[in-house]
Structure 1
Amino acid sequence: MTTAENGPPARYHHGDLRNALLEAGRVLLEEGGPSALSIREIARRVGVSAPAAYHHFSGLDDIAVALAEQGFAELAERLQAAPSNVNGQLAPAGMAYIAFARDNPGLYRLMFGEGFGGAFAADDRIRALRSQAYEVLKDGLSRRLPAGEIGTAALFLWSLTHGLALLMIDGQFDPGTDPDALVAAVLRLSGKGLPTSAERTDSV
């Protein structure tokens, strides 16, 4: 659906204009981040007029929410497809989470409201999809912590993976660093800070 650089827009020929617009929006996101989104440019790349896009989306906020909805659904799929968190090991889910952000940096920024905070704060679909991703992280903790501690620990781990993901997609590490090894090392360190119930009992 994208056009050759500096070339004319491709003409739209098939019957799923909504998805074609979203595909073009995702390309724009990865080219320039959330600030690059524009209904006019999305429509131009698909090969239709801007008014045609309004038959499927009420405005740019609506497109942004639909793109974020796609992103959270894909993130949840990746987390669910990660190897089982046997004995509460969180590295597989953490690795999958950060890999998604690295593969889709523009989309990931959008998912957390960059440039569209107000629209996202009011959207029930976005809140539900964020909660779905959060529940996967909570599930990994259910085997190693008492029920009363899971919520706080899950928030800590989500903060860790979210922050690390942003640092990585911002390029805040030495170019020679192996990103997968670094993520694994950080996640292992975080796990050492979350002792099992048995470990806490032994230390008393």
Structure 2
Amino acid sequence: MSTPATYHHKNLPSTIINAALDVIAESGPSALSLRDLARRAGVSHAAPAHHFRDKAGLLTAVAVQGFGLLADALAEAQQQTGDFLEVGVAYVGFAVGHPAHFAVMFRPELYRADDPELIAAKALAGESLRQGVAPFAASESGPASQDAALAAWSLVHGFATLWLSGNLPAGLPADPREAARHVASVLFAGRG
């Protein structure tokens, strides 16, 4: 008896992560089941556990990937413009473009927060954000600089969360990047 062609994958962990992202986008992280992901990937029910051990391991991999993608998006915006406003817009663009990652990344109860790869990915994303906020925060000094960076992050993270949950008022531009640019420019125009 032959094995189904779908059983063999060149990169099964990536296939499982992609299937998990689909489930999270459809129904949220609580809907994940390793058995269901195995079915979706066309592999044995033990295959996801072999690669990720359990649901927390899989969600750790999702968060690692998400923080890496976020770091790349922020660094690219910083290199292109050097402007905090555009780094903030890139943050919102990442959240809207990768809602399943975003749904996991800032929920440490879902994953192994002490995972070394996760810690490194979070640090890289944090550094990319700090670099993007640096021109804005430079107008402040000492603890005020840290407070400015936190305020800037809070603004774009909050905006992204409100956009994704459909809780922003009508009348904003239909494109999330343009809407974020519009809202953030009220506070930050000419400051970065």
Global fold match (TM > 0.5): yes
- Partners of 1:153 and 1:10 in 2: how far apart? 54
Q: Shift of residue 147 of structure 1?
A: 5.0
Moved over 4 A (4+): none
Identity rate, percent:
35
For structure 2, the residue ranges without an aligned partner over 5 or more in a row are: none
Count of residue pairs the alignment pairs up: 184
For residues 134-149 of structure 1, what are the structure 2 equivalents within 5 Å? 134-143=126-135, 144-148=138-142, 149=144
> Residues 34-77 of structure 1, C-alpha deviation per residue, up to 9 Å, x if partnerless?
11211011111001121122221111100000011111111111
Which residue number corresponds to residue 159 of structure 1? 154
- Partners of 2:110 and 2:27 in 1: how far apart? 21
Larger Rg: 1
> Residues 190 and 136 (structure 1 numbering): CA distance in 2 closer, same or farther, change over 3 Å?
farther
> Residues 120-168 of structure 1, C-alpha deviation per residue, up to 9 Å, x if partnerless?
4333433332232222232234343355233221111111111111000
For residues 53-132 of structure 1, what are the structure 2 equivalents within 5 Å? 53-82=48-77, 84=79, 89-113=83-107, 117=109, 119-132=111-124
More deviation in 92-101 or 178-187? 178-187
In the superposition, the TM-score normalised over structure 1's length comes to 0.78
Corresponding letter in the other structure for 1:44? R
> Residues 118 and 104 (structure 1 numbering): CA distance in 2 closer, same or farther, change over 3 Å?
closer
Indicate the structure whose relative CO is greater, using CA pairs within 8 Å and at least 6 residues apart.
2
Determine if contact 1:80/1:136 at 8 Å carries over to the other structure.
yes
Which residue number corresponds to residue 189 of structure 1? 186
For structure 1, the residue ranges without an aligned partner over 5 or more in a row are: 1-8, 197-204
In the superposition, the TM-score normalised over structure 2's length comes to 0.83
Q: SS of the counterpart of 1:11?
A: helix
More deviation in 181-190 or 135-144? 135-144
> Residues 10 and 30 (structure 1 numbering): CA distance in 2 closer, same or farther, change over 3 Å?
farther
